[in-house]
Chain A
Amino acid sequence: MPLTPILTAHWDDEDSHTLTGYRRHGGYDMVAVTLNSNPDDVINLVKESGLRGRGGAGFPTGMKWSFVPQNDGKPHYLVVNADESEPGACKDIPLMMANPHALIEGCILASYAIRANHAFIYIRGEVPHVIRRVAAAAREAYSAGLLGKNIQGSGFDLDLVVHAGAGAYICGEETALLDSLEGRRGQPRLKPPFPAVAGLYASPTVINNVETIANIPTIVRNGADWFKQFGTEKSPGFKLFAVSGHVERPGIYEAPLGTTMRELLDYAGGVRKGHELKFWIPGGSSVPMLMPEHLDTPLTYEDMGALGTMLGTGTPMVFDETTSVVRAISRWIHFYKHESCGKCTPCREGTFWLDQILERFENGTAAETDIEKVDEICKQIAGRSFCALGDAASTPYAPALRYFREEFLAGTHTPANQLFDPVASTVFTGAMA
């Protein structure tokens, strides 16, 4: 399928991140009209478009919005999850850097639809440049009367807060994000009540991913039918595919859902010269790995699900034959152990244990029984933890073992760095010689 630069269409403009640059291409044009229409029409439009959440789970956005109770006398909130922290995921941060106004326009339209007068953009704390850029864009929008009181004379008020997180992966989990936003320690909340009923400050709240919200202006501008012409029936629309790893031109490729990994690899110039594909991951470290034989499967929510993996954030990572699977899995497990919030037992203790054993595989000091033990520990975490972090931590091992059992066996006697030179898989590999 061809690339479909829509969100990314003008990212190479010098001033793509400014109000002027955004307006030059029709940005904010639909705000005044929309704010004078019926908010339910916006919800119905988004429902009609079939837009699914781009944060990883793929939940239908319009349906999520329609869960918010109306005329309940409580304030409503829109919260944008910009805590992009998944290893391998890098799409929201470039979007916010290149075109923050698409996000802000999306906030205005979405807030109007769900009758929220306050919106929050929760950005991970490690990216101050992004925080500064989005905050600057918000200031521009305020000055232009696109935020604040009586937007464009519509009588609709919206205050937008750009909030910096403090650097915890768990705060990408929506209820932990809410706790963090309220000033508490970020740990997931017990559901029910669901955020749509009692979210931020115990009020109805919609939490959407950056890319999801940035999609809204395009749908409002062009209509649901236009949107549905991209992608598949169950996965309509286009996607920012952030291809990373051992490819010639890593980067963001905007293409319809249903594009295959083989096509994306072509766009990215293929696996780096002189190397061949070992395995790949469709979206973030939390989803199971795939092999070269899966390159022709369409990248959709449903087709990835059928393969036993997930589209996730739609940010494929490509690994060539220089990669030690053991080391890759060990790094990810270490990440999840470090980021486990500690609330529930399986994730807190399970990742602690897994990390120690994976380190042994990496050092070549594991026992053969450790191979099955790790598998059992993962099964003891999966589906039993409080939130999806535990599931994520328990996901990578089983497929890695299925495809690369011999590497784990080697981990019982030989350190991974003797089998796979760590330098060989780096970008700077030739430079070291």
Chain B
Amino acid sequence: MTVTTPGAGTPATQPLDGINVSVDGIEVNVPKGTLVIRVAEQLGVAVPRFCDHPLLDPVAACRMCLVEIEGQPKPQPACAITVTEGMKVRTQLTSEIADQAQKGVMEFLLINHPLDCPICDKGGECPLQNQAMANGRGETRFDGVKRTFPKPINVSAQILLDRERCVSCARCTRFAEQIAGDPFIDLLERGAKQQVGIGDDTPFDSYFSGNTIQICPVGALTSAKYRFRSRPFDLVSTPTICEHCASGCSLRTDVRRSTVLRRQAWDNPDVNEEWNCDKGRFAFGYQADGRIEHPLVRDESGELVAASWPEAIAIAAEGLKAAGSRSAVFTGGRLTVEDAYSYAKFARVVLGTDNIDFRSRTATAEEADFLAAHVAGRFDGPSYADLEAAPVVLLVDFEPEDESPIVFLRLRKASRHGVRVASIAPFASSGLTKLKGSLISAGPGQQPALIASLTDNVAASDSAQTATLLREQGSVILVGERAAQTPGTLAAVADLARTTGAKLAWIPRRAGERGALDAGALPGLLPGGRPLDNDQARVQVAGEWGIEIDQLPPVGLSLTEVVSTVHADNSALASAADPTKVERSITALLIAGVEAGDLEDPASFLMAVDSVPFVVSLEQRHSDVTQRADVVLPVAAAAEKAGAFTNWEGRTQTFGQVLRDALTMSDSRVLAMIATVAGSQFGRGDIAEIRSEFRRIGPWSGNHTHMSDVGSVDTIELSSGEALVSTWRPLLDRGVLQEGDPYLAATARPVEARLSRATADAVGATEFVVVSTDNGSIELPVTITQMPDGVIWLPTNSEGSSLRVELGIGQGSVVRLSGGAA
């Protein structure tokens, strides 16, 4: 953009296809298609507006932004007029007509707007209030009767609507239709009775509903969670990064008197634009209630009792030091980059073990291989912007609306502009439908063969186009963490990317997984994606850590391998003639943020935790693990510490400490205390020190490992009445981080089982289906879905459908089906 003032001569540079316009006498050259209101913004002229939103299609409904355009008989809405060559625009700053028009509209907007600013959530941060102060008249001329409505009404359990405050700008309804693709709210009635509303039985249960509150230019939409809780001017705000999923949304966290009251999406054009999902917005209650408040240790009778920090740290240090390389570290997927790095370093430096695994979910050796070869320490994958420019985006075992909602929103934006989306999945989900995507139907186990057919360009006709488009420049493959649950899938995806040249990204569900991977919290991987068995990598890391190269441990065990090793130890002990002669391979566990119910076999894991002699747990809330630990050390939740998360793109974004007077310590700080007492060289565990150390190590520039061959995969023969399970977690379910947020939980999608008509008929499941294994059974309502026969889809961890804990099953497991009665 080139700005000149009249008489200043020809600007030195002019874009070739730019349009010359003037706003308030300032001449400017802007790209074709620019809206007048955007030109004004670029020049620093604030034209008042309500319905205009840069990410929504123009509607020109509120008429607040009327400006004078030379040659036009009437004032024109700046939000809906694109520039033309030579256009002369005069805003309220230089045009009496524009100024009068805007003042008139402002007066109209206020006649029916209640004067309840003192009790309105929006008061103090309200565009209507602000612009009324700037452009409105001091006293009203309206002495009639205002239109009123009964108030408020619930458009969903979470979103409340005070209709008399609404100025009919249609931002919320346009958001729901254009951005989220969930048009459950719309304008109803006409004239002054026009109002936002929902259908009789269709509440606004969109995963993105909270955004409408934020873009509402008045206080018409409020959340059950925040309504009447605070005034904006009492809030202290901190820019943060969402701790829920791997999308990496920038947020603003608002605190009043040391309590987090609200989170909002923050502008980040490269990532979440101006949106976030309802989980990121509303699920933060877990940080407030039910926290572990002080260290706990086991007393002589075996009870967990409160202890002082020095006492607990001393016991932890002693126990862990004694175990040394016979310990293992499980970090969970929710740590900040800095904390994950501290665990990675603590395991290698303080414990001398490589037994470390961040994956608290089903995790295979194939996945570890894939991550080391294609993800860890690599930053050449696709970005959000690449999704918008791709000829095709192929989703493999990845349900973006549930697993990474902002990826979903960006894909939806892309699909509205013609980007094609294809998904290898058992059925066309509502998310895929909203992306206008095509389904490449695959029951559990069929993915590798289907992917191979794309690789070999011999795909069936309905996916042949995807195979062709994948070979075009800029295509993208997004693979979800679920792919690890079907052997051969990740290897096939890697092959497909290599053959077609498509960009490949792995999108885990949790915010901390990519960061933990880059930090080296996986066996065989040092920070920056360095292979542990590479000499140069060892030299670099050992040098930075101040240890000898040979002090670095050999390649260790994954979580699954540790658990089976513990069970092998137990068997050996049980069968040994003289148990004192048997040495355990694993004698201590250091566990952070692992929810047993998320693991492939929760019971087996907890039995292992029970039998390992010494367990240290760093946790925020009580869990199955803390109950079994010998030392429990409370650590800071996301709002209580500074840190960073690395999102699926590999983009690391830092955030500050929200609750600045929190007394809790970060995992890094607690680990540093243990290390100090254990007499190890570790550091202070403060964030600046960790960041600079991690930055000095940097990403690995040497060769990455290659995936080893997966070998052939056995096909499963189903008997009559059996089905294969396909499963993932809906965005809103029984996740621990959603605890304490009942309004949010009430907007979750109904828990249901999906079956094909033939599968349902074969077992007599008309309305309900009973799903059983040797572990137990559950009964769920049936939704007949077009999907492969002999497959049942179930939510992984929802109310009444807790597959791991209740049935001991996961993706690809075999279950027995029968008709239900309930």
Contact = CB atoms under 8 A, between A and B. Distances in A.
A353 B111 contact: yes
B187 A185 contact: yes
Closest 8 A/B residue pairs (Cβ): A342-B194, A380-B104, A349-B108, A356-B144, A383-B74, A352-B192, A340-B191, A342-B190
B87 to A, nearest CB: 15
Nearest to B147: A352
A345 B142 contact: no
A386 interface: yes
Interface in A101-140: none
Q: Determine the main DSSP class of A at the interface with B.
A: helix
Contacts of B193: 342
B715 to A, nearest CB: 48
5 contacts: A337-B191, A340-B190, A342-B168, A342-B190, A344-B63
B63 A349 contact: no
A348 B105 CA distance: 11
Nearest to B192: A352
Contacts of B188: 185
Contacts of B59: 190
Contacts of A340: 190-192
Nearest to B104: A380
A168 B190 contact: yes
A343 interface: yes
A384 B168 contact: no
Interface in B156-214: 167-168, 186-194
A376 B74 CA distance: 16
Contacts of B365: none
A346 B65 CA distance: 12
Nearest to A373: B141
A344 B66 CA distance: 12
Contact of A357 (B62, B73, B144): B144
B145 A356 contact: yes
Contact of A345 (B75, B100, B105, B144): B105
B552 interface: no
B161 to A, nearest CB: 16
B191 A345 contact: no
A203 to B, nearest CB: 19
A45 to B, nearest CB: 32
B108 A383 contact: no
B609 interface: no
B190 A384 contact: no
A385 B104 CA distance: 11
B112 interface: yes
Given A345-B167, A380-B104, 9 more contacts: A339-B191, A340-B191, A345-B62, A349-B111, A353-B108, A353-B144, A380-B105, A384-B74, A386-B61
Interface in A299-346: 337-346
Contacts of B191: 337-342, 348, 351-352
B192 A345 contact: no
Interface string B46-89: 00000000000011111110100000011100001000000000
Contacts of A384: 63, 66, 74-75, 101, 104-105
For chain A, the bracket of interface size reads 20 to 34
A350 interface: yes
A383 B101 CA distance: 9
A379 B104 CA distance: 9
B107 interface: yes
Contact of A170 (B63, B100, B190): B190
B90 to A, nearest CB: 16
Contacts of B141: 373
Contacts of A343: 61, 168, 194
Contacts of A348: 108, 168, 191-192, 194
Contacts of B60: 190, 344, 386
A346 B192 contact: no
B107 to A, nearest CB: 7
Interface string B101-119: 1001101110110000000
Nearest to B109: A345
Contacts of A342: 168, 187, 189-194
A63 B111 CA distance: 43
A361 to B, nearest CB: 13
A349 B108 CA distance: 5
A349 B112 contact: yes
Contacts of A170: 190
A383 B69 CA distance: 13
A359 to B, nearest CB: 9
Contact of B108 (A341, A350, A356): A350
Contacts of A338: 191
A310 to B, nearest CB: 15
Contacts of A379: 104
A389 to B, nearest CB: 10
A179 to B, nearest CB: 12
Contacts of A339: 190-191
B104 A353 contact: no
A130 to B, nearest CB: 24
Contacts of B104: 346, 379-381, 384
Contacts of B64: 345
Contacts of B73: 383
B139 to A, nearest CB: 13
Contact of B75 (A168, A185, A383): A383
Contacts of B168: 342-343, 345, 348
Interface string B315-345: 0000000000000000000000000000000
Contacts of A351: 191-192
A147 B100 CA distance: 54
B63 A346 contact: yes
Contacts of A373: 141
Contacts of B145: 356
A353 B104 CA distance: 13
Question: Of A349, A350, A356, A383, which is in contact with the most chain B CB atoms at under 10 Å from its CB?
Answer: A349
A352 B80 contact: no
Interface in A148-180: 168, 170
A170 B66 CA distance: 23
A351 B186 CA distance: 23
Given A384-B74, A384-B105, A344 B61 contact: yes
Nearest to B64: A345
Contacts of A337: 191-192
A353 B142 contact: yes
Contact of B80 (A185, A190, A349, A381): A190
Question: Of A344, A346, A350, A384, which is in contact with the most chain B CB atoms at under 10 Å from its CB?
Answer: A384
Contacts of A168: 190
A342 B190 CA distance: 5
Interface string A379-422: 11101111000000000000000000000000000000000000
Interface in A176-202: 185, 190
Question: Of A343, A351, A353, which is in contact with the most chain B CB atoms at under 10 Å from its CB?
Answer: A343
Question: Of A337, A348, A379, which is in contact with the most chain B CB atoms at under 10 Å from its CB?
Answer: A348
A346 B190 contact: no
A345 B63 contact: yes
A170 B64 CA distance: 22
A345 B108 contact: yes
B190 A341 contact: yes
Contacts of B63: 344-346, 384-386
A338 B188 CA distance: 15
B500 to A, nearest CB: 33
A351 B108 CA distance: 10
Nearest to B101: A384
A399 to B, nearest CB: 20
A384 B97 CA distance: 11
A115 to B, nearest CB: 28
A365 to B, nearest CB: 11
A341 B194 CA distance: 8
Contacts of B144: 353, 356-357
A381 B189 CA distance: 21
B108 A346 contact: yes
B177 to A, nearest CB: 12
